[in-house]
Amino acid sequence: MTTKPPHRPLRRLGPLLPLGAALSGMSTAALAADEDLTTLAPVNVVGQRVKSEGDTRGYVAKRSSTATKTDTPLIDTPQSITVITQELIKDQAMQSIADTVRYVPGVVMSQGEGNRDAPIFRGNASTGDMYVDGIRDDVQYFRDLYNIDRVEVLKGPNAMIFGRGSSGGLINRATKQANWDNPREANLQIGSWDKFRLSGDFGQAINDDFAVRLTSMWESSRSYREGFHAERWGVNPTASWRAGEQTKVTVGYEHFEDDRVADRGISSFRGRPVDLKANVSTFFGDPERSPTWAKVDAFNAVIDHDFGGGFKFRNRTRYASYDKFYQNIFPGAVNAAGTRVSISAYNDATQRENFFNQTDLTYALDTGPLKHTLLAGAEFGHQITDNLRRTGYFTAVGPNATSVSVSLADPRYTGPISFRQAASDADRHSLTTIAAGYFQDQIELGKYWQLVGGVRYERFEVDFRNNRNGQTLFSGDDLLSPRGGLIFKPLDDVSLYANYSIAYVPRAGDQLGSLTVTNQTLQPEQFKNYEVGAKWDIRPDLSATLAFYQLDRHNALATDPNNPAISFLVDGQRTRGIELGVSGNITDAWRVIGGYAYQDAEITESLSASAPKGAKVAQVPEHTVSFWNRYDFTPNWGAGLGAVYRSAMYAATDNLVTLPGFLRFDAAVYYKVNDHVQVQVNVENLFDKEYVSSAHSNTNIMPGSPIAANAGVRVSF
């Protein structure tokens, strides 16, 4: 008998979601009269533009507070950072994290089993190094950009600011929040394979002290992949209050739902993906019984206060509740004859509650020839996680059969499947608590030199319970994460830097579920990054960056190949690389963003039979190149053209399956009807190139999309 998974239907709010009602404010003026003169009382102007600390100009960002927690020019930040600005998000019609990293050197996106964002930073895969407004957002799901102002990608460990994880880098999303700009914008998009999307961004300054904003989105779409569909919606109201001249309070709430098919792509044969031309759209398994959904409810609050004299206070609080489920009926290995493929199945449910509170105090002062920007802060976190996994049994084969063989020519499976727990399946509960304190000093050593140094101490504890047998485990780590950077500025618009940092990944892992009797007492994995680079503001709105780095992974858990029961720690991985980036305006009409990355990621000590010494790290191409440019021919007409190149890479660390390299082109056309209406058409894979976009393993490989078009109308008022 076929058992269908429990399914929480997506609420279909339809096109009404992006529509918001804006509040409006009015100013009144009192008249005073005397015998000779009538005088108007002062009038307060509501809605005056306020400069953001994340100052951007087209495709280039000049400042950020993400890497240092202080509002710092990027040229004075000793770390490789790529910022995806709002203008670039709009020009490329970006909607996902995968879209944003396309032009980020040193980062590639893996498949994530068709149910989550799964970037690989400098050879280190992660699903937990995701942040929103500087606070951890670590559950596995697909994030949307409907409420995002910009995306910041930091390369290299940054545990001094962000705590555990960020072994190879992290992604921070800066949200759109209530301000006094009065944004009013609606966007309609239609595209290939029945794509339909509505989004809105409406804000209003009620008066000088209070403003509100509402961002929202609804989307329904299909895909070039047979049987795939996705439906999602989100709403994010925020409000800001100036509680006095020196204090601002911002609060917000987000509800987001994503419901789609979990698609794990195609298998491989004789070291290559199976014939792409025949299978670019063919679903392996059963899309009808491969649902995945995520539901997120999050409350955020920020309090900013300026005490004067260079002393500032900020407190951030985030409470988020996550409900995540996915079920896969997916491909395994192809038989030796190349005629049949194995199909397996399982499902997995996770509920998590996150609570984080951060307090930062900054103080700017001069001490003779030195200028200091001091940061002292504390972070407290509390995460409760419940996880249940069940294996799929193919009862037509046998009561305990966990796979079935189907024809490679027709790899869909519609026979009976029952889901129940296997001996190795998880049923667990965990409580994770963190308490951290950190200190940082940014020092100007005269005209040419700057020094950034800091350290974070974090107490990280996990209480773990196996619900199947009542076993309880505990892991506690004291993590000391330093960072140091030296900057030399021979010119105001040129900086040379060197950076050293350390980060840790505790044994509980990215998703806090990897604790076992064997590893609970082991030291956490340690990642050391050595980086030198240069940054050049070629002109006020055009910047270039260059970075050379070495990232070493220590305390990796290795298994004795002659005795799998014996494990030990080794220095198991090294990535060396070069990253080159450029973004901004070449002329007033010509905007560009691009990058090149060289990565040599290698297993330095044997970790297992499938990860031998000398093997290349999975899904890390040696060379990647990306370049996008937009040129406006007239005030009304413009066009964009981009290219993405990726060299060949291995699907897994056993290096048995090669994913071919590719060169793909994208394009766009823009037309400004008037000051309030803009139309654009974006074309992905302009020349219909057959290629592999991502992978999860040797047998889960995602073909890239054929040529696809997306047309949008943006109305502002």
For residue 505, give the nearest of 154, 184, 166, 269 by alpha carbon: 166
* CA–CA distance, 344 with 332 (Å, rounded to integer): 7
Please report the pLDDT score of residue 32 as a whole number. Answer: 36
113: left (phi over 0), alpha (psi -120 to 50) or beta: left
Q: Find the distance separating the first CA and the last CA of the chain, reported in whole Å.
A: 56
DSSP state of 278: H
Please report the pLDDT score of residue 563 as a whole number. Answer: 78
Please report the pLDDT score of residue 29 as a whole number. Answer: 34
For 637, other C-beta atoms within 10 Å of its C-beta total: 12
Please report the pLDDT score of residue 40 as a whole number. Answer: 41
52-97 pLDDT, tens digit each? 445 788 999 999 999 999 999 999 999 999 999 999 999 999 999 9
Q: Is the pLDDT of residue 483 over 50?
A: yes
Please report the pLDDT score of residue 27 as a whole number. Answer: 34
Q: Which two tokens stand for residue 224?
A: 């070039």
Query: In whole angstroms, how far apart are CA 423 and each of 343, 400, 508?
Result: 20, 12, 20
219-259 pLDDT, tens digit each? 999 999 999 999 999 999 999 999 999 999 999 999 999 99
Q: Is the pLDDT of residue 478 over 70?
A: yes
Structural contact between residues 520 and 473, judged by C-beta atoms closer than 8 angstroms: yes
DSSP β-bridge partners for residue 482: 455
Q: Could you state, in order of their start, the residue ranges of all structural domains in the chain? A: 50-716
Q: 567 falls in which pLDDT band (50, 70, 90)?
A: confident
Structural contact between residues 226 and 287, judged by C-beta atoms closer than 8 angstroms: yes
40-51 pLDDT, tens digit each? 444 333 333 334
pLDDT mean over 599-604: 98
Q: Is the pLDDT of residue 26 over 80?
A: no
Please report the pLDDT score of residue 8 as a whole number. Answer: 42
Q: Is the pLDDT of residue 304 over 80?
A: yes
Phi, psi of 704, deg, nearest 5: -75, 160
195-219 pLDDT, tens digit each? 999 999 999 999 999 999 999 999 9
Classify domain 50-716 at the CATH topology level.
Maltoporin; Chain A (2.40.170)
pLDDT mean over 3-10: 42
Structural contact between residues 88 and 299, judged by C-beta atoms closer than 8 angstroms: no
- Type and span of the H or E element at 408: none
Q: State the maximum Cα–Cα separation within the chain, in Å, rounded to a whole number.
A: 105
Please report the pLDDT score of residue 278 as a whole number. Answer: 67
165-196 pLDDT, tens digit each? 989 999 999 999 999 999 999 999 999 999 99
Q: Is the pLDDT of residue 523 over 70?
A: yes
DSSP structure string for 40-58: EPP-PPSS-----SS-EET
Mean of all residue pLDDT scores within the chain:
92
**Would the pTM of this model clear 0.85, i.e. be above it?**
yes
pLDDT mean over 672-690: 97
